[in-house]
Amino acid sequence: MAITEEKLGEILEVYPEKVRVNRRRHIVLKEPDTNAAQQIEANTRTLPGIITNRGCAFAGCKGVVVGPIKDMVHIVHGPVGCAFYTWGARRNKARAGEDGKNYVNYCFSTDMQESDIVFGGEKKLAKLIDETVEIFHPNAISIAATCPVGLIGDDISAVARAAEERHGIQVLAFQCEGYKGVSQSAGHHIANNLLMDKVIGNTEVEKCDEPYAVNLLGEYNIGGDGWEVERILKDIGYHVVCVMTGDGSYEDLRLAHTADLNLVQCHRSINYIAEMLEIKYGTPWLKVNFVGIKSTCDSLRAMAAYFGDKDLMQKTEDVIARETARIQPVIDQYRKVCEGKTAFCFVGGSRGHHYQGLFAEIGVETVLAGYEFAHRDDYEGREVIPSIKKDADSKNIPDLHVEADTKRFKIKIDPERLAKLREKFPFDEYKGMIVDMKEGTIIVDDLNHFETEEFIRLLHPDIVSSGIKDKYVIQKMGIPSKQLHSYDYSGPYAGFNGAVNFARDISMSFATPTWNYIVPPWKNQPLLNATINGDELNA
C-alpha cells in the first residue's frame, strides 16, 4: 500500500506542532520519476526526547573510522564508558599484518575521574601514552576526545605533539567530542581531516610498483566484507594499496597517495578524503557498491573501463561469469522463500541505499528507506552539494582545504577519457538514494521510534532491517528483523559470497518455525470440545 500525504498527516498528528513541522521536512514520498530529485531535510539537530537511533561524533570518529586501524593503539580520553562501548562493539575484523601488530581486541581509556575534570586530564593522558608505547610498541597512537574534554579545555593536540617528540611515532589527536555536530557524521569529518592532513602521504614512497593500484575507501570490513571485496579484486588482478579502514593499517594508509583510483563504498563517511585525494594527488574516485550481485558487477566493470586494459576487462568478465555461475543457483533457491516480500531498510549513512539492490535480487521490495545521519547529497545526489547550507550546529566542524601537491600531483587518466567514462559510470559522483527508489515508497531521515511503529502498522513490511536498538522492538511485533550494522554476527554480506550469505540469512529469518508459536493454542481453540449425550459441546 502506497502511503498518501493524508495518511502521513494522520501519523504526524500526534506530534507537538514544532515537531510536526520539523519531521515533515525529513520525510519524502517518492513521486513518479522526474529529472529533479525531491528535496529532503537531513543532517539537522535531533529533536530532544524523540527517541532517535543516532549516536555521537565520538562514535563516528573513533568507533567507525579510526578504531578499525589495527596497528595503532586508540586511546579514549574521557570517563570509561566511551571506550568500553566501542570495545568490540562494531565487527570491523582485522588480522595482524607482516609486523604482527593488531590491537583491535584491546580497549584503552584514561578513565577520567572527578579530579581530572577539576584539575585537567592532560598529565594522565600523557602518562597513559608513555605506558602504552612501552608495553605495546604500536606504529602510531590516536587520542579520541569525549564530551568533557572540550569543556574542561584539555589541550590534547599539545599532549600529542609532546608525545610524538618523546616517542618518535605519530600521535594523532582527534577532537571528536560527542556533542559536536548533530550525529556520527561530524566524527567522520573530523577523522577524515586529520588522517588526510597527518597520515596520508606521510612517507618517502612516491609511487606504487604494482599495476592497477586502488584504494578501497569507506569499507570497514564488518563481518569480513572488505576481505571478500579484496578477494575479488585480487583475483581480477588489482593491487589494493590501502583499505580505509577495515583491517586497515597505519602503514598502508600512509601510501594512499600512490594508488591510481579510489573506490568509495560508504560515501558519507569517507567522501571528504576521496575529494581531497583528487585535489591533492589527482586521483579520481569511483562510487562503487559491492553489496548485491549487479552492483558488484557494475562496479567491477567501471573499474576495468577506467584502466582500459583489454586483459583486465577480459579477466573481469571471466571472474564475473565464474562467480555468478557459482552463486546464482544458490541465490535462486533462497529467492523462492523471499519472493514477493517487502522490507524497510533504515541504516546509518550508506547501507539504507546499498542493500536495496541485494534485497531486490532475492525478490524483496524496499518500501521504506532512510538514514540516521546522512546528508542531502546521500539522499539527493552530489549535485545538490552547492545548495546545502551549513547550519549553526554543524558549522563548527572545520573543513580541511588541500591544494595540489606540487611534487606528487599527477593526472592519472586523460581528462577527456574520464569525462567520457562519466557518462556511463559514477566517477567523482554519487546520485544518492532517492533516485533509485520506486514511486510510492517512502524516505525518512532520522527515523525515530514513534515513526518506526507507525510506519510498520501502516505498511506491514515482512522484514525490517535496522540496528540492535530496534531489533527486538520489531521482533516483538512478530516481524523478522535483520541487523544491517552488525549483520546479526554473520557475514560477509558484500561481494559474491556475501550475497549468498545474505540470501541465506534473510530466508532463514522468514523460514524459522518459531514465528508459528507466537499465538498459544488456547488463544484460538475452544476451551471445551466434546460430546455429551450426543450433543456437540463447544464453549
Partner 1 sequence: MLDYTPKEMIERHSGGMINPAKTCQPVGAMYAALGIHGCLPHSHGSQGCCSFHRMHLTRHFRDPIMASTSSFTEGASVFGGGANLKTAIKNVFTIYNPDVIAIHTTCLSETIGDDIPTAIRQSEIPEGKVVFHANTPSYQGSHITGFSNMTNAMVTYFAEASVPQKENFANIIPGFVNPADMREIKRLTEAMGISSILFPDTSGVVDSPMTGKFEMYPAGGTTIPQLKKTGDAKITLSLGRFASQMAAENLEKKCNVPFASLKTPIGIKATDDFLMALRGAFATEIPESLEYERGQLVDVMTDTHFHFYGKKVAVFGDPDVVTAMTEFCLSLGMQPVHVLTGTPGGALGSGLGGFEQEIQGMLDEAGVSGNVKAAGDLFTLHQWIKNEPVDLLIGNTYGKYIARAEDIPFVRFGFPILDRAVHPYMPVVGYRGALRLVEQISDALLDRRDRDAADEDVELVL
Q: Would you please indicate which residues are annotated as catalytic (active-site) residues?
A: 56, 59, 90, 188
**Pick 59 or 293: Cβ nearer partner 1:** 59
Q: Is 87 in the site for partner 1 (CB under 8 A)?
A: yes
**Pick 440 or 467: Cβ nearer partner 1:** 467
Q: Which of 7, 24, 45, 504 binds partner 1 (CB under 8 A)?
A: 45
Q: How far is the CB of 119 from partner 1 (least distance, A)?
A: 12
* H or E segment and range at residue 537: strand 535-538
Interface with partner 1 by CB under 8 A: which range of 130-138, 198-206, 305-313, 398-406?
Answer: 130-138
8 Å CB contact between 463 and 366? no
Q: How far apart are CA 3 and CA 148, in angstroms?
A: 44
Residue at grid coordinates 568533557: 148
Q: How far is the CB of 151 from partner 1 (least distance, A)?
A: 5
Q: Which of 41, 97, 107, 203 binds partner 1 (CB under 8 A)?
A: 107
Q: Which residues contact 461 (CB under 8 A, 6 or more apart)?
A: 342, 343, 344, 367, 368, 479
Helical packing angle, 225-236 and 310-338, nearest 10°: 140
Q: How far is the CB of 188 from partner 1 (least distance, A)?
A: 14
* Residues 414-453 as x/- pattern, contact with partner 1 by CB under 8 A: -----------------------------------xx--x
**Pick 49 or 329: Cβ nearer partner 1:** 49
8 Å CB contact between 364 and 462? yes
Residue at grid coordinates 545526489: 381
Q: How many CA atoms lie within 13 A of 380 on its CB side?
A: 23
The string over 42-75, giving b where at least 16 C-beta atoms fall within 10 Å of a residue's C-beta and e elsewhere, is bbbebbeebebbbbbbbbbbbbbbbbbbbbbbbb
Residue 60 three-state SS: helix
Q: How far is the CB of 48 from partner 1 (least distance, A)?
A: 4
Segment 473-492, which members bind partner 1 (CB under 8 A)?
A: 473-478
Interface with partner 1 by CB under 8 A: which range of 165-173, 312-320, 361-369, 471-479?
Answer: 471-479
**Pick 19 or 279: Cβ nearer partner 1:** 19
Q: Which of 178, 381, 426, 498 binds partner 1 (CB under 8 A)?
A: 178
The phi and psi torsions of 117 (rounded to 5 degrees) equal -65, -40
Q: Which of 152, 208, 418, 508 binds partner 1 (CB under 8 A)?
A: 152
User: What would the DSSP string read from start to end of 141-172?
Assistant: EEEEE-HHHHHHT--HHHHHHHHHHHHSSEEE
Segment 343-362, which members bind partner 1 (CB under 8 A)?
A: none
Q: Is 148 in the site for partner 1 (CB under 8 A)?
A: yes
How many other β-carbons are positioned within 10 Å of the β-carbon of residue 224? 25
Segment 284-313, which members bind partner 1 (CB under 8 A)?
A: none
Q: Is 518 in the site for partner 1 (CB under 8 A)?
A: yes
Task: Tell how strand 285-287 and strand 341-346 pair up.
Answer: unpaired
